[in-house]
Amino acid sequence: MKKLTVIFFFLGVLVFAQKPSKVLPASSSVQFWMHQVVDNEPSSNMGTIKVKSGKFTFGNNSKIEEGEVLLDMRSLTNSDLPADEMAALTKRLRSSDYFFVKKYPFAKFTLKKIESRPNEEFNSIIWADLSMHGRTHTITFPANVMVNGKKVSIESDKFQLNRQDYDIFYRSSRPNIFIKDEIVFKLTFVTK
């Protein structure tokens, strides 16, 4: 009887340890910045992408072991232009010229590894796979990772991706406009 009690106790501990912590979409966000040069003057535009869902799973040591976050690319919106220009740029970014959200409505962030960096401005380095626009690449970036019980907060530093790695090749037809390949991202993921 004692053996059965001990077995059930440890099974209960394992189940509790592996119960995922769900991402709160309303408290999570993805920001991005795209840069261009117009008539030799550098400029940028900022936008946001909503988080649809996600979860993080813990190991027996209460450290994050796995994580996955789904991004709703259909929500992609420019956020720093006047209303008419904002609508036009948002439409362009959602089109087949860029993120082609009709064909690729979601992007997925899949956690691979978190490495602690004590006493640094950002306390961790994160490795993850980012699947977007039909392509998957491993990305690495600094972040502040906080775990309180089963509540997770991840806030990244700004980091760059090359859009050509995701088959986004658009070039302006106007010779005075040069659109840079690098897109800057900043991620915030918060769980219950």
pLDDT in tens, 139-188: 999 999 999 988 999 999 999 999 999 999 988 888 888 999 999 999 99
Beta-strand relationship, 151-156 and 106-116: unpaired
Q: Which of 159, 168, 162 is nearest to 101 (CA)?
A: 168
Domains and CATH numbers, the chain: 20-190 (2.40.128.110)
Instruction: Identify the band that residue 18 occupies on the pLDDT scale cut at 50, 70 and 90.
Output: low
pLDDT in tens, 112-131: 999 999 889 999 999 999 99
Under 8 Å between Cβ of 129 and 110: yes
CA geometry: angle at 25 spanning 145 and 183, to 5°?
Answer: 70
The confidence score (pLDDT) of residue 7 equals 43
